[in-house]
């Protein structure tokens, strides 16, 4: 037996239907699509079309909205920070900020700032500058003798600098 002699077991496979191949095929002329109409055409029907009744996406009410100005933070958990320190990518004796984290490959980009989250444990004291941090993350960093400096965003700094009327 050779590879070119391999065949499926007789009766285990079916021939594919060759549509539109004349009256003898049983699927000639209209190729099983019937006569005229939207579904007989190439491209078929619209998926959301409900035969003239009001479509469900228009019957149901819309709720809420998405704020286009909402700040988006790069999230950083303590276990990921400790992992980078263990691998020698971060120096715990130096202050750590967004740019240092990007250079070390811990986060991809700073976005509107870095937010420190409390998953995992930290074993060395570190000084880290972030745009935001959870209470648990601050507590865990301070427990090992480190400090978390929460910087205000550019928007909050601009509001403080401008005198209120």
Q: Is residue 64 part of a domain?
A: no
Determine which helix (DSSP H) or strand (DSSP E) holds 133, and give its type and residue range.
Answer: strand 132-133
| CATH assignment of the domain containing 89 | 3.100.10.10
Lowest mean pLDDT among 7-21, 25-39, 59-73: 25-39
pLDDT at position 114: 95
Crossing angle (nearest 10°) for helices 135-143 and 78-86: 40
Instruction: Identify the residue with better confidence: 165 or 45.
Output: 45
Q: Is residue 47 part of a domain?
A: no
Number of H helices, E strands in the chain: 5, 5
Task: Return the SS3 of 83.
Answer: helix
What mean pLDDT is predicted for residues 15-28?
87
Q: Compute the distance between CA of residue 102 and CA of residue 89 in angstroms, rounded to an integer.
A: 11
- Inter-residue contact 117 to 105 (CB < 8 Å): no
Q: Is residue 128 part of a domain?
A: yes
Q: With bands split at pLDDT 50, 70 and 90, how would you rate the model's confidence at 58? A: very high
Q: Is residue 43 part of a domain?
A: no
Query: What's the chain's Rg over C-alpha atoms?
Result: 32
Q: Is residue 139 part of a domain?
A: yes
Q: Is residue 117 part of a domain?
A: yes
Task: Return the SS3 of 128.
Answer: strand
DSSP-derived letter for residue 122 is -
Task: Return the SS3 of 79.
Answer: helix
Total structural domains within the chain: 1
Q: With bands split at pLDDT 50, 70 and 90, how would you rate the model's confidence at 164? A: low
Q: Which two tokens stand for residue 112?
A: 């509107």
139: domain range? 74-152
Model-wide pTM > 0.75:
no
User: Residue 158 above 80 pLDDT?
Assistant: no
């Amino acid at each position: 037996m050779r590879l070119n002699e391999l065949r499926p077991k007789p009766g285990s496979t079916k021939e594919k239907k060759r549509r539109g191949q004349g009256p003898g095929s049983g699927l000639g002329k209209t190729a099983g699509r019937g006569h005229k109409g939207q579904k007989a055409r190439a491209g078929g029907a619209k998926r959301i079309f409900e035969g003239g009744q009001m479509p469900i996406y228009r019957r149901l009410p819309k709720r809420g909205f998405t704020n286009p100005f909402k700040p988006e933070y790069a999230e950083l958990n303590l276990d990921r920070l400790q992992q980078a320190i263990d691998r020698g990518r971060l120096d715990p004796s130096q202050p750590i900020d967004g740019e240092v984290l990007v250079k070390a490959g811990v986060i991809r980009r700073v976005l509107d700032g870095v937010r420190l989250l409390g998953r995992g444990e930290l074993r060395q004291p570190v000084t880290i500058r972030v745009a935001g941090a959870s209470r648990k993350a601050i507590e865990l960093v301070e427990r090992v003798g480190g400090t978390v400096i929460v910087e205000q965003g550019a928007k909050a700094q601009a509001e403080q600098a401008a005198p209120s009327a």
